[in-house]
Amino acid sequence: MTQEKFDTILILDFGSQVTQLIARRIRARNVHAEIVPFHTPIERMADPAIKGIIFSGGPASVYAKGSPQVNPEVFDLGKPILGICYGLQLLAHNLGGKVERGERREYGKAELHVRNKEEGISLRPELRPRGNKNNLFYKTPPKQIVWMSHGDAVRKIPRGFKVAATSAHSPYASIADRARKIYGVQFHPEVWHTEYGTQILENFAKNICKARAQWTAKHFVSEAVQEIRAQVGKRHVVHALSGGVDSTVLALLLKKALPAKQVKNIFIDNGVLRLHEAKEVMVNLKKLGLTVQHVDASKEFLKPLEGVVEPETKRKIIGRKFIEILMGNVHAKDMLSQGTLYPDVIESVSVRGPSDTIKTHHNRAPEVLELIKEGRVVEPLKEFFKDEVRVIGKELGMPDELIWRHPFPGPGLAIGILGDVTEERLRILREADAIFIEEIRNAGLYNKVTEAFAALDTSRAVGVKGDEREYGYMILLRAITTTDFMTADWYPFEPEFLGRVANRIVNEVRGVTRVLYDITQKPPGTIRYM
């Protein structure tokens, strides 16, 4: 969304998978941030509403043929600039420095040493708020943990720059030309592993760029309503409503923006939902005053899944059938509305810069992409993260039990079965998943866990029931905490809790002999198994 009347930090995307986290961190401090392609015209960057510019990270090498480059005129605009990782290397490459392949790839946590002489930071932590507000590391300690992810390295810094911070393997972990207000960091302040990353980005946006804190959920709702009205006009909108937080928030935005006769909410039951989910969703949506058409297409989805094991094939089958049913309701001039969030988009197609595809999402099927080209898709949430959408939902009056509802993927339980999908396996998984979620609720942990679910490993494991050996399925339990779903950690349940859940599943769910708890972070793992 383009909000020219707000002070804005413009982020040039060079292909990093975590570019949107930069915008999210800045918006969390109520400063508007917008992501645009790296080749955005210089006239856009020169707009008076743009108070500062950030170069994102990216997978390329700045010296490689065909790598994404910045328009050198950006350095003549007189606006503050911050380069992150690849962005730092772009600064050095364009301003007379030198970038080469590093002797070793630096990935993961590193200890950053801030140069207090250059940055005005007291070596005594209790005095750190007395540092210079115009420094990138204001209100941060001399030693701090940051997250590195780079193979190339700056070997020579440009004239006029000074070293602002170092790490064990990055002598130029941060550089600054404070006279021109141009800064660079080799690490990623946008990821949560960088402990003072939000403060660093806030320092840049508010102190160095002087951007005013004008951006709130209330502002977003007002602007989104206006944009929806302008985009839709008198046309009808078909809204894919799953009952999850994202699509429900968008349904409420549509309700606020358009007359009821213009909006057709459709809930499609694909046969791989959780226990009693379809009924619960319809009840919850009715409480919100939403009129919803319930389409039970479970048999149409399950038949094509018979014998299919490969996860991407499952996603494509379910996504294809979903799109067929959904598009059957979208007539020639109708608009399509989806509660698409940024992680969905960045994992399925390159949004702004040259990023890689991770997995397929039905909201980026060919038919949807064609409608996007025609300007017929309403997706006001596509540059936001789950936590931001929850704040918007609260602004729209959604009750907490819906705002904090755990996410559930479009392919549903089909990608929770590590093998081919059968009615019997769906029964087992539904029952095990319901027990896990019930125990989490009973323990008062549901809102502390961001997402929790059970998966079924179709490999058979031996167990003993009633003094007899029995081969049964293994249930994998996963519960994570995250704010942005780009990175995540496992939730540290007490052993007694896990023992209780495992005991119930093995004893109450016929066909299960083993229960395991997954403690893999993202990355390197993903949140779901398939």
Specify the CATH number for the domain of residue 495: 3.30.300.10
Residues 197 and 320 in one domain: no
Cα–Cα distance list, 342 to 246, 347, 377, 498 (Å): 11, 9, 15, 33
Residues 396 and 420 in one domain: no
Residue 209 a catalytic site member? no
Residues 34, 106, 119, 190: which is the catalytic one? 190
**Residue 126: what pLDDT?**
43
Determine the Cα–Cα distance for residues 14 and 289; give it in Å rounded to an integer. Answer: 43
Cβ-count burial of 495 within 10 angstroms (0-12 exposed, 13-18 middle, 19+ buried)? exposed
pTM of the model: 0.75
Strand partners, 505: none
CA-atom Rg of the chain in angstroms: 25
Residues 456 and 322 in one domain: no
Amino acid letter, 138: Y
Count of CB atoms situated within 10 Å of the CB of 305? 22
The structure tokens listed for 391 are 């704040």
Residues 374 and 422 in one domain: no
Residues 253 and 385 in one domain: yes
**Could you tell me how far CA 101 lies from the centroid of its own chain?**
30
Residues 35 and 180 in one domain: yes
Assess contact for 514 and 463: CB atoms under 8 A.
yes
Structural domain of 226:
217-403
Residues 322 and 267 in one domain: yes
Residues of the chain with pLDDT under 50: 1-4, 118-130, 348-352, 355-361
Chain segment 347-401, per-residue pLDDT in tens = 544 444 554 444 444 566 788 889 989 999 999 998 788 888 999 999 999 999 9
Name the domain count of the chain. 3
Determine the Cα–Cα distance for residues 26 and 38; give it in Å rounded to an integer. Answer: 19
Residue 106 a catalytic site member? no
Domain assignment present for 479: yes
E-strand ranges in 216-367 read: 237-240, 263-269, 292-296, 335-337
Residue 188 a catalytic site member? yes
Last residue of a domain, one of 208, 228, 252: 208
Residues 424 and 278 in one domain: no
Count of CB atoms situated within 10 Å of the CB of 410? 21
Residues 196 and 293 in one domain: no
Determine the Cα–Cα distance for residues 402 and 206; give it in Å rounded to an integer. Answer: 34
Last residue of a domain, one of 377, 403, 429: 403
Residues 227 and 259 in one domain: yes
For residue 124, give every residue at least 6 positions away whose Cβ sits within 8 Å of its Cβ, in sequence order, or none: none
**Residue 385: what pLDDT?**
83
Long-range contacts (CB closer than 8 Å, 24 or more residues apart) made by 217-221: 217/388, 217/391, 217/392, 217/394, 217/395, 218/395, 219/3, 219/6, 220/1, 220/392, 220/395, 221/253, 221/256, 221/392, 221/395, 221/396
Residues 32, 93, 188, 239: which is the catalytic one? 188
Domain assignment present for 528: no
Domain assignment present for 35: yes
**Residue 49: what pLDDT?**
95
Last residue of a domain, one of 342, 368, 403: 403
Domain assignment present for 527: no
- Of 279, 55, 88, whose CA–CA distance to 171 is shortest? 88
Assess contact for 9 and 53: CB atoms under 8 A.
yes
Tell me the CATH number at 197.
3.40.50.880
Cα–Cα distance list, 126 to 115, 165, 236, 406, 468 (Å): 17, 20, 59, 40, 65
**Residue 365: what pLDDT?**
79
**Residue 362: what pLDDT?**
53
Residues 201 and 223 in one domain: no
Domain assignment present for 324: yes
Residues 135 and 237 in one domain: no
Tell me the CATH number at 335.
3.40.50.620
**Residue 345: what pLDDT?**
67
